[in-house]
Amino acid sequence: MLFCVFGMFGAHASEVVINGKANHSGVLIRLILIEDHISGAQKMVTSTTTDFRGRFELRASLDKPSYAQLAAGPDRAEILLLPGCSYTIQLDDKQDFEQLSYYEREPLRYQIVSSDDKGAYDQLLTINLIVNTFILQHFNDLYKKRSRALVDTLRAVINQRIPVFAHHYVKDYTRYKIATLELVSQQMSMQAIIERYIQNQSILYANVEYMGLFSQVFHSYLNNSRLWSQDDIKEHLSRGLPAVKSLLRRDQLLANSENLLELVLLSNLRELYFDRSFNQHDIKEVLSQMSRVSSIPEHRQIAAGLLRVNGHLSFGSQAPGFKLSGQTGTFYTVSELTNDKVTIVNFVKKDCQPCNAAFDDLQKLTEEFGDQVRIVTIATSLSFQETRKIFLENRFQWLLLDLADQWTVLEDYNIKSFPEFIILLPGNRVGMAPAPSPKQGLEAHIRRLIRQANTN
């Protein structure tokens, strides 16, 4: 067994090992890290497939504690991983996901059978259970009567159950989880929260509870300040990063800490990017500048993450890649499908009546647009044979692909319900994601994008 590295931030990365057992063989298992808690950018660091006994092993290099995600097929769950630690887990991987929508599915269930993290993960579970139970039992007193003594009681209960924290991450997690409760139940004013938990404090970029509190405290901070107007913000954004930072220095709290100023700016640019009253080009330029010139590595990473996340599936962006097999066993890639024409990608699943009903509408589109448009249906593994039968019976001639175990394709295209439609442009670019169904105006968007493609 490896010994955990319990330093604040290890100078060198240490390997994390996860040995696990699932209920099925051939299940795609992935470990996904959240690169930062502002952009939410994710990175799959390793993956494997369960063997004939359902066993698997994941190895990844970590340089700090990570509140990561463990995925089995399309299902995910959060897990706290500490650098240098080993974990043995039992998965309860479900096979009925196709009967539920994305919004109805439960998180992946798992149990840590053993670990050498000195009980850090168990403490995290205990803290969440204590806090959630406490809120349910004292909801009215907390949120209506705003009883200050109750929060002190909660701290005492946690200290009694956990007299010594196994890791600094768990200690900080607890502190800021309680702080969030004080904020949302108005036990403390916003200014008091800032002074006690944020001002002159270290920024805990990797701690999910700290960053959650930070995001709530500074939500719409730029728009709500009396020190500048919305027009001031727009003007300074158009002039670039130095101008925006000079504007924010009117705020004494931000003027006293360059780290805090930049993080507040990044958090608010995430919000302003989708505010139609602001110029996206100006925001992207400020983020691009910060990704290059910020003296704080975490801020460069966050800025780059925001650029990547905000641009994902946007018009003209690079289409996520895949390589899937068709009915004859031939494999097709995105670049091959979009090399010369506008492509409609249609995602379907098993026992989906709206999916089957949409096929007749897609047939009409093939007759209307002919060679101008390519249509591709991607069926989940459990629905492929059923869909193939429908295609043969109705003599549908467009391409049918088997998703097989490539669940990441659904994630890459943000597929959360079925049927779903995506329009791709020649040159492997995104035209519209998601696109409306044929009955909701898909045809009009196809015509518009064909015209644009022909003029480029």
One domain, residues 172 and 55: no
Question: Last residue of a domain, which of 101, 117, 133?
Answer: 117
Mean pLDDT of 120-129: 96
| Helix-then-strand count for the chain, H and E | 18, 15
Residue 1 falls within a domain, yes or no? no
One domain, residues 275 and 328: no
One domain, residues 229 and 200: no
Tell me: the pLDDT tens digits for 348-358?
A: 998 899 999 99
One domain, residues 147 and 106: no
What pLDDT, on a 0 to 100 scale, did the predictor assign at position 105?
59
Q: Which of 3-17, 145-159, 219-233, 252-266 has the lowest mean pLDDT?
A: 3-17
One domain, residues 213 and 273: no
One domain, residues 360 and 285: no
Residue 249 falls within a domain, yes or no? yes
Nearest to 12 by CA among 64, 85, 65: 64
What pLDDT, on a 0 to 100 scale, did the predictor assign at position 407?
86
Q: Which of 5-9, 281-285, 422-426, 431-435 has the lowest mean pLDDT?
A: 5-9
One domain, residues 34 and 60: yes
Tell me: the pLDDT tens digits for 178-209?
A: 999 999 888 889 999 999 999 999 999 999 99
What pLDDT, on a 0 to 100 scale, did the predictor assign at position 149?
84
Residue 5 falls within a domain, yes or no? no
Question: Distances from the Cα of 102 to the Cαs of 237, 264, 387, in angstroms?
Answer: 37, 32, 20
One domain, residues 436 and 378: yes
Question: Last residue of a domain, which of 75, 96, 117?
Answer: 117
Residue 9 falls within a domain, yes or no? no
Question: Last residue of a domain, which of 66, 96, 117?
Answer: 117
- What is the DSSP code (8-state) at residue 88? E
Q: Does residue 6 register a pLDDT over 60?
A: no
Domain count, the chain: 4
Domain that holds residue 249: 221-311
Indicate the length of the chain as a whole number: 456
What pLDDT, on a 0 to 100 scale, did the predictor assign at position 212?
96
pLDDT band, very low/low/confident/very high, at 35 (cuts 50, 70, 90) = very high
Number of CB atoms found within 10 A of residue 171's CB: 17
CB 355 within 8 A of CB 379: no
Amino acid sitting at position 11: A
Contacts of 401 (CB under 8 A, 6+ apart): 324, 325, 326, 332, 376, 377, 378, 379
Residue 389 falls within a domain, yes or no? yes
